[in-house]
Amino acid sequence: MLLSGTPHPRLRIAILDDHPVITLGIAAYLRAQPDFDIVHVETTSEGLLQNLKRQPCDIAIVDFYLPRQAWDGMDFIRRLRRRYPDMAVITFSAGARAETEYAAFRAGATGYLPKSASMPTLVEVIRAARGRSRRGFITHANGALHMTPPRHPDTRLTTSEIEVLRQIAQGLSVTQIAARLLRSKKTVSTHKRRSMKKLGLSDDLSLALYLNEKFDHKAGP
Amino acid sequence: MPHIDALLPLYPDAASRRDLLQQALAQIRADLSAIDSAIGTGDHPLARQLTHRAKGTVSFLGNPETLHAFDTLTGALRAGDPVRIGQAYPPVEQGLLELQAILQQRLHTL
């Protein structure tokens, strides 16, 4: 008798999106997959962290932009990474592709998919992410999976600087950003000052104009 | 083709399809009203966040060709320019109303 190999265990999946329709839609579709267990369906980053403590998962599908929540973006992906290093994190976002994809990659996500992607594509990415929490970075383009790390969308800035600018563009103060990112106000101010220098921006007005242009269409709200 | 037409046949039964459609319809109505109200009261940061959320719904369920209208409104809201906002909002409203009509039609045919 031939052995067909050890079957894969069922994948435990957590879904986080601040939009209940999207969590419902994804969960309903993924529940129909024979090897998936949908363990957590959450609309807040705080709720997801609490529930993961109770029951960890193999894969987390997380929305990148969660305005008005305790954590989102790179900060939240890093937080998940620190607490659950073996869990694969797939970023799912309606934000601008290049910036969000790169930011998710740098924060340690396992893959990225735009919200306009089809559900079968999401399933494909989830299966590819199985056991790949830190190896490679999965994206989907032109009908195929890719494992190539994304390119930096703006080589002038570090990811920390981009993250600080993204939060400034959301209207947060240096103090609020420092609290959110668990950094000192001095560090946040340094990131802001260095990015302004790199971008050749001399004052807050020119920074505001740059943010207006840069984050208008490219990096979500 | 709206994503909902690719999504619905993939759901296991009529009950889960109905549930998705009903929740989506309720959410779109709520988002439309909330965006309208936030713009009316001049709360541009809130309007921007709601617009992003609504863009997520349209990305997930609707027609990707309408997404640029959401980016245009986001830009106008970020600039805080009432004229640009006034021009950018109607296409977003129209996009959401069209998606609402599509979802209602799919609900009736279940």
DSSP string, A73-142: HHHHHHHHHHH-TTSEEEEEESS-HHHHHHHHHHHT-SEEEETTS-HHHHHHHHHHHTT-SSSS-BEEET
Are the Cβ atoms of A21 and B59 closer than 8 angstroms? no
Q: To probe the interface with A, which of B5, B49, B72, B99 has the most A CB atoms within 10 Å?
A: B49
pLDDT band at residue A15, thresholds of 50, 70 and 90? very high
The tokens of B20 are what?
């998705």
- Could A28 and B16 be called an inter-chain contact, meaning their C-beta atoms sit closer than 8 Å? yes
Let me know whether A65 and A114 are in one domain: yes
Record the tokens describing residue A75, joined without a space.
Answer: 């900060």
Is B15 part of the contact surface with chain A (CB cutoff 8 Å)? Answer: no
Answer left, alpha or beta for residue A126, where phi above 0 means left and psi between -120 and 50 means alpha.
alpha
Question: Does any CB of chain A come closer than 8 Å to the CB of residue B67?
Answer: yes
Measured distance CA(A177)–CA(A168) in Å, rounded: 8
Cα atoms in the 13 Å half-sphere on the side-chain side of A149: 11
Considering the domain architecture, whether residues A59 and A101 belong to the same structural domain is answered as yes
Distance from CA of B98 to the nearest CA of A (A): 17
B11 touches chain A (CB under 8 A): yes
* Residues near A47 by beta carbon (within 8 Å), at least 6 away in sequence: none
Q: Which residue has the higher pLDDT, B88 or A219?
A: B88
Residue B4 included in any domain: no
Q: Please, what is the end-to-end C-alpha distance for chain A in angstroms?
A: 59
Domain containing residue A73: 11-146
- Choosing from A117, A146, A175, the residue where a domain stops is A146
Domain of B58 in residue numbering reads as 15-35+42-108
Residue A40 lies in a domain: yes
Answer with the one of A95, A119, A146 that is the final residue of a domain: A146
Mutate to test the interface with A, among B35, B46, B59, B84 (most CBs of A within 10 A): B59
Mean pLDDT of A6-12: 76
Can you give the pTM of this predicted structure? 0.73
Question: pLDDT digits over A32-62, tens only?
Answer: 889 999 999 999 999 999 999 999 999 999 9
| More confidently predicted of B87 and B5 | B87
Q: Which of A17, A21, A33, A97 to mutate to test the interface with B (most CBs of B within 10 A)?
A: A21
Alpha carbon distance B104, B109 (integer Å): 9
Query: Which single residue is written with the structure tokens 């946040």?
Result: A188
A25: CATH: 3.40.50.2300
Residue listed under structure tokens 């529940």: A31
pLDDT tens digits, one per residue of A132-183: 766 678 888 777 888 877 776 666 778 788 888 888 877 788 999 999 888 8
Taking CA–CA distances from A170, the nearest residue in chain B reads B45
